[in-house]
Amino acid sequence: MHADNEYTAVLRFLYEKSMILHDMSQFHKVLSFYFIDSLAHIDYTASIYAYNYQSPKNIMGAEYLRWRVDGERKGDRSKFPAFINWLKKDHPEKFSKLPSLWQMIYDTDDPASYRSFRIVLDPDSKNEIPSNMLFIMIDEFFESEFLKSLYSDASLATLFDTYIGRNSSE
């Protein structure tokens, strides 16, 4: 565990967020899946930095994320990474408004990825993600306009359905 424990502050910041003003049951099912998935990866990454790798919290987090890997392959969820790249190419203004984590992880031109469920921005670096960057990622996912775009009849959801309709033969 870090002596200054800066990553426990990141976790506290994440856990103090609330969805009380939103009805997640009305979110687009695929976008909702990836929203929660991203929060789980942020949580796991900060937890690995804050606590011992074999702490119960990290073991439970890894088990949960392992289960979610299979969920990524179900139905239209598998098309989400390609959708993000389609946005980058065909709707750059919408791509630029996505949370930076989605831009980095799913952009095929970006080296960022999930490695053993951790967020890794640069595979050649052994450095931890700075805590201030995790704070920014969290804030982006809870930004009001972004959350509004996740509803089934909202802008991002509509674009996703348009993308699926155009690429339904894949």
Going residue by residue through the chain, which has 170 residues, state the pLDDT in tens, using 9 for 90 and above: 444 589 999 999 999 999 998 999 999 999 999 999 999 999 999 999 999 989 999 999 999 999 999 889 899 999 999 999 999 999 999 999 999 999 999 999 999 999 999 999 999 999 999 999 999 999 999 999 999 999 999 999 999 999 999 877 55
Bridge partners, residue 120, by sequence: 113
Q: In total, how many domains does the chain have?
A: 1
Angle of helix 131-141 relative to helix 6-15, nearest 10 degrees? 10
For residue 122, give every residue at least 6 positions away whose Cβ sits within 8 Å of its Cβ, in sequence order, or none.
Answer: 111, 112
Residue 87's pLDDT is 98
**Residue 170 maps to a domain:** no
3-state secondary structure the chain: CCCCCHHHHHHHHHHCCCCCCCCHHHECHHHHHHHHHHHHHHHHHHHHHHCCCCCHHHHHHHHHHHHHHHHCCCHHHHHHHHHHHHHHHHCHHHHCCCCHHHHHHHCCCCCCEEECCEEECCCCCCCCCCHHHHHHHHHHHCCHHHHHHCECCCHHHHHHHHHHHHCCCC
**Residue 1 maps to a domain:** no
**Residue 98 maps to a domain:** yes
**Residue 145 maps to a domain:** yes
**Residue 22 maps to a domain:** no
Model's pTM, two decimal places?
A: 0.93
Domain span holding position 107 = 6-15+27-165
Residue 3's pLDDT is 45
For residue 84, give every residue at least 6 positions away whose Cβ sits within 8 Å of its Cβ, in sequence order, or none.
Answer: 95, 98, 102, 103, 106, 107
Dihedral through CA 111, CA 6, CA 58, CA 1, nearest 10? 110
Residue 1's pLDDT is 47
**Residue 20 maps to a domain:** no
**Residue 133 maps to a domain:** yes
